[in-house]
C-alpha cells in the first residue's frame, strides 16, 4: 500500500537514482529531492537498503498493474502487455529502466534485491506464457512452446532496458524487432488489428 | 596494447568490480587486489574514470578477439560467435557480465563509457549481420533482414548478461532460446553439425 509520504519518498528515490546512480544515492539527496528531512525519511526506512527494497516493491507492483489487461482475446492481451512494457506512461516512468538497472547491477551484492527481480521475472514469464497458451488453445497462434516464447520475450525486454540505459537507444527499436520475431513464433504479429 | 602491469591492474579492477560493484570501487581496493601501490596505479591512470575507460577498452578488445573466427562457412562462424559470447574462457571471464553491467549502469553518467558500449554494440551487430548476409548469399540461410537478425541477437545477448547478473541465471539458458529463435529466422539452427 502506498501512502502519500511513501510515494513521495519513492518518487524522489527514482529521481536520485536516475540522476546520480546507486553510487551517488544518499538519504540526504533523497531528502533534498523530496523536500522532506532525512529524519522524516528515517522514520519510514531505517536503512538505505530497506528504502530500496520498498522502492523495488512499489515499482514491481506498479509494473504488474501496467502489464495486466482487461481484454480476453489473447492477441489483445499480448499487445497490451507490450504496450505496458515498452511505453512510458509518465515522464517519471521514462527513467524506470535507469533506476531498475542501477539496482540490477547491485543484485549480486544484495540478496533481497535479487529475490525481487526473480519475482518480477517470474510474473512476466507467467503472464506471457499464459497469453501464448490461451492463444494456441483458441487457434489464434501457431503451435509452439509457451514457456520458451515467454523466456525469449522477457530476455528481449531485459535487453531493451539495458540498451536504453547503456546505449541510450529508444525502447521502440527493440519492440519492433521483438514483434517481428513473435510473428515467426506465433504466426501473428502483435499490434496487428484484431477484428472481434 | 596490454603491458603486463596494465593487465594486472585490469584484472584486479575486474575482481573488485565483481566483488564490490562500481559503488565500492576505489584505487585502494584495486591496489590491495593487485599487490601494487596506489601510487603505482596512479602512475598509469590519473583518475578512476581513466582507469575504467582503459578497462573497457581492453575488455572490448578481448571480446572482439573472442568472437572472430577463422572459419569461412557462415554456419560455423555463427556457432563460433555464440561460443565466444556465451562460453566463459577463464574463471576470471565468468565475472565479465558483472563487471560490464556495473559500468553499463554508469553509462548515463559517463559519456566515455557510453561511447565504448556503442562501439562494442556496433561491432557485434556488424559481425552478426555479415555472417547472416553471407549465409543467405551462399544458400545456407533463408531470406531475411540481416540487420534485424543482428539486432535481435545483440539485444538477446544484452538480456542474457543482465539475467546472469540480476537473476544469477546461467548464460546457457538464453543461448538455447536464442538458437531456437534463430532457426525460425534462418532455417538453420546454430550448433547443428555442418557437413563440409
The CATH number linked to A26 is 1.10.357.10
Average pLDDT over residues A45-59: 90
- Any B CB within 8 A of A105 CB: yes
Question: How far is residue A77's CA from residue A86's CA, in Å, rounded to a whole number?
Answer: 14
Q: Does residue A40 sit within a domain?
A: yes
Cα→Cα distances B171→A47, A111, B84, B163, Å:
33, 20, 12, 8
- Any B CB within 8 A of A60 CB: no
Q: Does residue B151 sit within a domain?
A: yes
Chain B CB contacts of A18 under 8 Å are 108
Cα→Cα distances B161→B31, B164, B176, Å:
28, 5, 14
* pLDDT at residue B145 in the model: 97
pLDDT of chain B along its 196 residues, tens only? 457 888 888 889 999 998 888 888 999 999 999 988 999 999 989 999 899 999 998 888 888 888 888 889 999 999 999 998 988 766 555 667 788 888 999 999 999 999 999 999 999 999 999 999 999 999 999 999 999 999 999 999 999 999 999 999 999 999 999 999 999 999 998 888 776 5
Of A104, A107, A148, the CB nearest to B177: A148
Chain A CB contacts of B163 under 8 Å are 121, 155, 158
Q: Does residue A194 sit within a domain?
A: no
More confident residue, A129 or A40: A129
A90-104, A166-180, B3-17, B71-85: segment of lowest average pLDDT: A90-104
Give the mutation candidate from A177, A182, A184 for the B interface (greatest B CB count, under 10 A).
A177
Question: How far is residue B108's CA from residue B195's CA, in Å, rounded to a whole number?
Answer: 46
For the cut 90, the answer to whether the pLDDT of residue A130 exceeds it is yes
Q: Does residue B191 sit within a domain?
A: no
Q: Does residue A27 sit within a domain?
A: yes
* pLDDT at residue B95 in the model: 67
Cα→Cα distances A155→A72, A122, B100, B175, B195, Å:
25, 12, 17, 11, 32
* pLDDT at residue A174 in the model: 92
* pLDDT at residue A187 in the model: 95
For residue A164, give the C-alpha cell. Answer: 536504453
Q: pLDDT tens across B38-48, in order? A: 999 999 899 99
Structural domain of residue A45, as residue ranges? 4-186
CB distance B158–A158 less than 8 Å?
Answer: yes
For the cut 50, the answer to whether the pLDDT of residue A60 exceeds it is yes
Domain count, chain B: 1
* pLDDT at residue A93 in the model: 58
For residue A120, give the C-alpha cell. Answer: 518480477
- Any A CB within 8 A of B161 CB: yes
Q: Does residue B77 sit within a domain?
A: yes
CB distance B109–A21 less than 8 Å?
Answer: yes
Question: How far is residue A40's CA from residue A9's CA, in Å, rounded to a whole number?
Answer: 10
Residue A1's pLDDT band (cuts 50, 70, 90): very low
For the cut 60, the answer to whether the pLDDT of residue A35 exceeds it is yes
Question: What mean pLDDT, rounded, does chain A reach?
Answer: 89
Q: Do the Cβ atoms of B167 and B152 come closer than 8 Å?
A: no
- Any B CB within 8 A of A148 CB: yes
Q: Does residue B193 sit within a domain?
A: no
Q: pLDDT tens across B116-153, in order? A: 999 999 999 999 999 999 999 999 999 999 999 999 99
Of B21, B158, B181, the CB nearest to A181: B181
Q: Does residue B195 sit within a domain?
A: no
What element of type H or E holds A157?
helix A146-167
Please name the residue of chain A whose CA is at the shortest distance from the CA of residue B24. Answer: A23
Amino acid at each position: 500500500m502506498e501512502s502519500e509520504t511513501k510515494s513521495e519518498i519513492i518518487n524522489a528515490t527514482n529521481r536520485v537514482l536516475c540522476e546520480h546512480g546507486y553510487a551517488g544515492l544518499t538519504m540526504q539527496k533523497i531528502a533534498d529531492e523530496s523536500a522532506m528531512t532525512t529524519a522524516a525519511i528515517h522514520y519510514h526506512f531505517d536503512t538505505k537498503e530497506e528504502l530500496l527494497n520498498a522502492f523495488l516493491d512499489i515499482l514491481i507492483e506498479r509494473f504488474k498493474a501496467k502489464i495486466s489487461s482487461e481484454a480476453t482475446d489473447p492477441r489483445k492481451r499480448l499487445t497490451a502487455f507490450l504496450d505496458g512494457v515498452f511505453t512510458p506512461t509518465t515522464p517519471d516512468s521514462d527513467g524506470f529502466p535507469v533506476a531498475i538497472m542501477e539496482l540490477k547491477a547491485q543484485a549480486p551484492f544484495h540478496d533481497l534485491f535479487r529475490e525481487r527481480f526473480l519475482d518480477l521475472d517470474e510474473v512476466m514469464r507467467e503472464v506471457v506464457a499464459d497469453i501464448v497458451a490461451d492463444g494456441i488453445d483458441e487457434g489464434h497462434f501457431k503451435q509452439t512452446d509457451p514457456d520458451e516464447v515467454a523466456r525469449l520475450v522477457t530476455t528481449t525486454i531485459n535487453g531493451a532496458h539495458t540498451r536504453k540505459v547503456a546505449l541510450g537507444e529508444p525502447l521502440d527499436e527493440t519492440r519492433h524487432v521483438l514483434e517481428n520475431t513473435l510473428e515467426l513464433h506465433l504466426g501473428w504479429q502483435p499490434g496487428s488489428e484484431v477484428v472481434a
